[in-house]
Structure 1
Amino acid sequence: MSSRSEAIQRAETYFDSGAFLSDLARLVAIPTESQEPSQKPQLMRYLKEEIQPLLTRLGFKTHIFENPDPAGGPFLFGNRIEDPNLPTILTYGHGDVIRGQAGQWQGDLEPFKLAEDGDRVYGRGTADNKCQHLINLQALGCLLQEKKQLGFNCKVIIETSEETGSAGLQEFFEEQKDMLAADVLIASDGPRLQADTPTIFTGARGGKSFTLQVNLREGANHSGNWGGLLADPAIILANAIASIVDIRGQIQIPAWRPNSLTPDIRKALKDLPVGDKRGPALSENWGEEGLTPAERVFGWNSFAVLAMKSGVPEAPVNAIDGYAFAVCQLRYVVGTDVENILPALRVHLDANGFSDVEIRQEDRGFFRATRLSPDNPWVKMVSASLEETSGKKPHMLPNLAGSLPNECFSETLGLPTVWVPHSYAGCSQHAPNEHILKPVARDALRNMTALFWDISENGTPT
């Protein structure tokens, strides 16, 4: 007779045999760089050559859809309906990755060649998101091997444009609401709070990217002959940025300061660990005063400069450039007026004498902030299952510190959303040397296999 422990043992065997890393190596080897238009054929290749055959082996019916937005890549939908009266789980992943950044990785590491070094497994997409959706799909496989059926209905949606703002995802979901109908989203993206303890989050911070630019004149002029006579765009821009936040990064625009750090959110964030010994050390005297580190990153807004340039940094000359720009971003929580982010910035800059600073919204999409109550029955059930399997009480977050397209599931489809991340904070996501930790991946595979077992046995939580 099949059992929960035997299903978990199947997951352990799959990982310990090396089969998991072998499967992951094939996924990583496909350079699905959605930010590079020339790599668009690789997005379809990923779906057709890897994910579609995997779902077919698991008994799913599959179909690949073109994106309604020509800027986006294709979608793969799969479903396995065992009984219309059973609960339906929707899961999600994204097959695209950011640019590989070849030549910037340490030693002889290559972005699209899986490499092991102790507990670390390197490769672009290992953490974000190929490893994560591979774990969830193979956990379904372990359950099927053990029980020969899921005991619930399952739908899978894999997109290929998440790293460019999930172009077309909202439109696709609106067009396909009936096809995507489910009882809950259970999916994985982002990092655990700490590598050795499961994490659950039920929403995400939103993200708004924009460019600040100062364009005063064509070309550059000799800094000796014109210094003190010509306004310097870089200095103007630096001062404009310094007016947005103070010396410790505290936001100075009232409309950018959220109203949602309520007592219940503070209670949820109380005592949550932030940072990981494997990741960078937290900066002292940085962020909003009076808030704990957890409140700053999960309950508050943060402003960042992603890139900044004037002149030719790689080959400076004695000249004052006529142009400077900075790509900036506001990460925001529920309680922020999204439509007023850029208008409030315009008012602030003008009021502080920076009318020469232009604001240009980035073409890439952005995600809105979302949250779900930790008292939701699905959240409680997932938490209890993870605790039973791992022996540790999961860290519970009202929202991820980063951003992802959760609003498509929570708002468009009207689903409770439960995210169980399988990476960790020091994984170098979106940077050279991206990697996963073997112990985290193995633990996640065990946890998800057991979670799906529990749903199979217990049905919809009440």
Structure 2
Amino acid sequence: MTRQHAIDLARQDADNGQLATTLARRIAWRTESDLGPDAPPATHAALLGYLRDEMQPCLEGLGFQVSLHANPVPGGGPFLIARRIEDAALPTVLTYGHGDVVNGQAAQWREGLSPWTLTPEGDRWYGRGTADNKGQHSVVLGALAHVLQLRGQRLGYNLTVLLEMGEEAGSPGLAGFCAQQREALRADLFLASDGPRVHAERPTLFLGSRGALNFSLKVRPRPRAYHSGNWGGVLSNPAVRLSHALACLIGPRGRVLVPALLPPTPPERLRQALHDVPIGGGADDPALSPGWGEPSLSPAEQLVGWNTLEILSLGAGSPTRPINAIPASAVAHCQLRFVVGTDHANALAHLRAHLDAQGFNDVLVEPGMACAATRLDLDNPWVDWALASLQASTGKPPVLLPNLAGSLPNDIFADQLGLPTLWVPHSYPACAQHAPNEHLLASVAREGLAIMAGLFWDLGEPDAPWEAGRVAR
């Protein structure tokens, strides 16, 4: 039994319908975690049911001991820990996934598609969670099953699986839960799958993620609206005030204008890693906006090595049916995506100081969700090891991203648990995650099965660089 045999068997899961059958069953679980306090009881039941009735039997069949846990945050989704301990003296891999999804948005899907039914059309498998993240952790576990089979149920290392059911709601309780379960989650390497490749045709490895800080800007000078004819010109307009406040934060070409919210200049090692990384160009990718953002950076450096400040939504008055009135208030929901080296802990204080200095002390700043930025050292031995494994499994030179442009709760694994973190995604940028018509590419899933089988196999070989990430026991 050889490494190539494991890869061939894993690929067959995509060819013979096994992966599609498994994924169809998992997609049917309506595990929406972002519906808030108004979510129906069936939604909460589905979050637990997915772990208890779908994932627990699967993992126990692979030789794991499984435990289910309540969230330490009231109303937060449950957790699952599965442990497969071959020998306490062996190193341990921690892998992670999430079974929750964003709201289905069923009315907005194309005719003939449902978020809760897996619908194959050519290379596309449609359904909510196919790309984010049910399809990806199904690929991981499907590949693992074949490696276990060919190695006589002995990997040569221990493996722990952590599944959460609240990632799409900002992972409430995950940090506290991992602190409580630190001993159960103790490991030497973190290896998981989420997010997109840089392109459907390019196997990708990323080592962390940009951080995210959500915040709202609000202007409310008075408790109600007033007639614009009777009072226009003598009452301040909150929409005007907010528009100008935003303009002092972000330039007309998207450049961040708050010096304290910018990162250090991208290091040369990072720029070298991004030198030939393609951004966009896929069939369903949007056209890039020339001249947008920091002018001295390439598109890859903009996404991976720099900070962006975005306005996610903007409101004042009654946009769908305007009335002749000065609105009572205006609000902008914003987001800072940031890289390692940013003074994110003081970001809101820097924002407040900048607004005050520009004369906008009437603009309130309210914090929202936040997660830190992470990036494994590019010289860590696990990086070249993983790149070599991906190339051996696919015959393609993989793309190395120092960090994902998006955000994941990787700071919990990298900083809190102290692990070297490797992410191998099995989706692609135009997968429509979080949107109607979400889909997984069968070709990428098939290649993902091969990649993960190769990685799980190689971790049991003598040249795996375990000493690079051993945690003091």
TM-score by length of 2: 0.94
The whole-number CA distance in structure 2 between the counterparts of 1:145 and 1:446 is 15
Give the Å deviation of 1:441: 0.8
- AA aligned opposite 2:82: G
Q: Which residue is 2:237 aligned to?
A: 232
The whole-number CA distance in structure 2 between the counterparts of 1:458 and 1:320 is 71
Corresponding residue to 1:253 among 248, 258, 278 = 258
- Give the secondary-structure state (helix, strand or coil) at the position aligned to 1:82: coil
The whole-number CA distance in structure 2 between the counterparts of 1:108 and 1:224 is 50
- Deviation track 1:378-397 (CA, whole Å, cap 9, x = no partner) reads 22211101001111111111
Corresponding residue to 1:426 among 430, 440, 462 = 430
Q: Which residue is 1:453 aligned to?
A: 457
The whole-number CA distance in structure 2 between the counterparts of 1:233 and 1:101 is 32
- Deviation track 1:86-142 (CA, whole Å, cap 9, x = no partner) reads 321110001111121221222232222222222111111111111111111111111
User: Do residues 277 (structure 1) and 276 (structure 2) align?
Assistant: no
Do the aligned partners of 1:193 and 1:276 also contact (CA within 8 Å) in 2? no
Alignment RMSD (CA, Å): 1.4
Do the aligned partners of 1:28 and 1:123 also contact (CA within 8 Å) in 2? yes
The whole-number CA distance in structure 2 between the counterparts of 1:289 and 1:173 is 40
Give the Å deviation of 1:260: 5.0
User: Do residues 352 (structure 1) and 351 (structure 2) align?
Assistant: no
Give the Å deviation of 1:258: 0.5
The whole-number CA distance in structure 2 between the counterparts of 1:421 and 1:234 is 41
What stretches of structure 2 of length at least 5 have no aligned partner? 468-473
Give the Å deviation of 1:229: 3.0
The whole-number CA distance in structure 2 between the counterparts of 1:276 and 1:88 is 39
Do the aligned partners of 1:374 and 1:396 also contact (CA within 8 Å) in 2? no
- Give the secondary-structure state (helix, strand or coil) at the position aligned to 1:399: coil
What stretches of structure 1 of length at least 5 have no aligned partner? none
Corresponding residue to 2:314 among 305, 308, 314 = 308
- Give the secondary-structure state (helix, strand or coil) at the position aligned to 2:290: coil
Corresponding residue to 1:395 among 391, 394, 399 = 399
- AA aligned opposite 1:198: P
Give the Å deviation of 1:325: 0.6
Give the Å deviation of 1:351: 1.2
Do the aligned partners of 1:260 and 1:334 also contact (CA within 8 Å) in 2? no
The whole-number CA distance in structure 1 between the counterparts of 2:147 and 2:250 is 50
Do the aligned partners of 2:385 and 2:464 also contact (CA within 8 Å) in 1? no
The whole-number CA distance in structure 2 between the counterparts of 1:427 and 1:392 is 22
Name the stretch that deviates more: 387-396 or 224-233. 224-233
Q: Which residue is 1:213 aligned to?
A: 218
Corresponding residue to 1:90 among 86, 89, 94 = 94
Name the stretch that deviates more: 212-221 or 12-21. 212-221
Give the Å deviation of 1:64: 0.4
Q: Which residue is 1:438 aligned to?
A: 442
The whole-number CA distance in structure 2 between the counterparts of 1:459 and 1:172 is 33
Identity %: 51
- With over 3 angstroms needed to count, the CA separation of the structure-2 counterparts of 1:143 and 1:237, relative to structure 1, is same
The residue correspondences of 1:7-406 to structure 2 (distance < 5 A) are 7-36=6-35, 37=37, 38=39, 39-149=43-153, 150-278=155-283, 279-362=285-368, 365-406=369-410
Give the Å deviation of 1:366: 2.0
The whole-number CA distance in structure 1 between the counterparts of 2:300 and 2:7 is 33
Give the Å deviation of 1:415: 0.8
Give the Å deviation of 1:459: 5.7
The whole-number CA distance in structure 1 between the counterparts of 2:463 and 2:370 is 35
Q: Which residue is 2:470 aligned to?
A: none
The whole-number CA distance in structure 1 between the counterparts of 2:410 and 2:83 is 20
- Give the secondary-structure state (helix, strand or coil) at the position aligned to 2:223: strand
- Give the secondary-structure state (helix, strand or coil) at the position aligned to 1:76: strand
The whole-number CA distance in structure 1 between the counterparts of 2:383 and 2:70 is 33
Give the Å deviation of 1:336: 0.7
Name the stretch that deviates more: 206-215 or 311-320. 311-320
Give the Å deviation of 1:218: 2.5
TM-score by length of 1: 0.96
